[in-house]
Amino acid sequence: MADTGQQDAAASFDPLRPRLMRVAYRMLGSVADAEDMMQEAFIRWMKVDRSEVREPEAYLRRMVTRLCLDQLKSARRQRETYIGPWLPDPVLDEEEEEDVTLPLMLALERLSPLERAAFLLHDVFGLDFGEVAITVKREPAACRQLAVRARAHVRKARSRFQVEKQRGLELAEAFFTASRSGDMTALRSMLAADVSIHADGGGKRPAAAEPIIGFDAVVKAHEYLATLFRTNGSTLVRSAFVNGLPGFVTLEADGELQTTALEIEDGKVTAIYVVRNPDKLRHLH
């Protein structure tokens, strides 16, 4: 009977898993934590009298969102002691149009958990404020205000410059070639004046402890890195859109993967996001 119940629960849960995972990942910015939320939601779903649930997707979305709200409380405490810049786990996009890009994910970190939930559920996933209110257990008017405050915080991070997929991948590959070969002339031509590097090693692999800001500082950093690449190598695994931005996956000399995502405006790279923390890259193996 237990196996039958599990199979019955899985039959209704599994088709919704991708959409629920999108909610969880965008709430948490961590693939591993989002997968944990999926597991916990499924366990709870097995215990529910499913014959009484008229809309399984809405029911499960509420459940997952509430689990994420609880998880965000402990996640925020962990972020306070995180070593170096924190970046969300890299997700490789199958399509170039991503509803929540990496810069927006970083902006969401500045929101309260409830603001984050209201913004994502209404502005990203298109739910009305009545449904948002039921999900976060607040009045619709309060949810509307949460979303207004959230929009004010993330307005600058919302994508203004759409990069066509093929063009984006070409720029990413050109950046890889210039940065690994030490072609500083080509690299300089690609960088915006206010370019920055944000590298997440999590204290587990070497990475800059603070963001590197400005054209000269970024060029100097790449001049140093080019000397390392000449000795140790860096192999391109694939080009891809990483959290909505053109980028690539590489295999580094230490045998670990690394992702690089490029924020591009008017054909110039304005920000470089590098994830080196092996805990954030396990799902890419």
Residues of the chain with CATH 1.10.10.10: 102-158
Q: Say if residue 269 is exposed, middle or buried (CB neighbours under 10 Å; 0-12, 13-18, 19+).
A: buried
Fold classification of 165-284 (topology level): Nuclear Transport Factor 2; Chain: A, (3.10.450)
> Which CATH number does 1-81 carry?
1.10.1740
Task: Quote the pLDDT of residue 96.
Answer: 46
Residue range(s) in the chain whose domain bears CATH number 1.10.1740: 1-81
**Digitized pLDDT (tens) for each residue of the chain, 285 residues in all:** 456 668 888 999 999 999 999 999 999 999 999 999 999 999 999 999 998 999 999 999 999 999 999 999 877 777 788 999 999 999 998 654 567 889 999 999 989 999 999 999 999 999 999 999 999 999 999 999 999 999 998 987 766 667 888 999 999 999 999 999 999 999 999 999 999 999 999 999 999 999 999 999 999 999 999 999 988 989 999 999 999 999 999 999 999 999 999 999 999 999 999 999 999 999 998
Q: Residue holding tokens 């913004």?
A: 119
Q: Could you tell me where the DSSP H helices lie in the chain?
A: 2-13, 17-28, 31-47, 56-80, 102-108, 113-119, 129-136, 140-154, 165-181, 184-190, 215-232
C-beta of residue 159 within 8 angstroms of C-beta of residue 104: yes
pLDDT of amino acid 79: 78
The topology (CATH level 3) of 102-158 is Arc Repressor Mutant, subunit A (1.10.10)
For 138, which DSSP code? S
Residue 159 has what pLDDT?
A: 60
Beta-bridged to residue 198, according to DSSP, are: 273
Q: CATH 3.10.450.50 in the chain, residues?
A: 165-284
Q: Which of 210, 226, 211, 208 is nearest to 263 (CA)?
A: 211
Strands 268-275 and 191-200: parallel
> φ and ψ at 82, to 5 degrees?
-70, 140
The reported pLDDT for the residue numbered 164 is 86
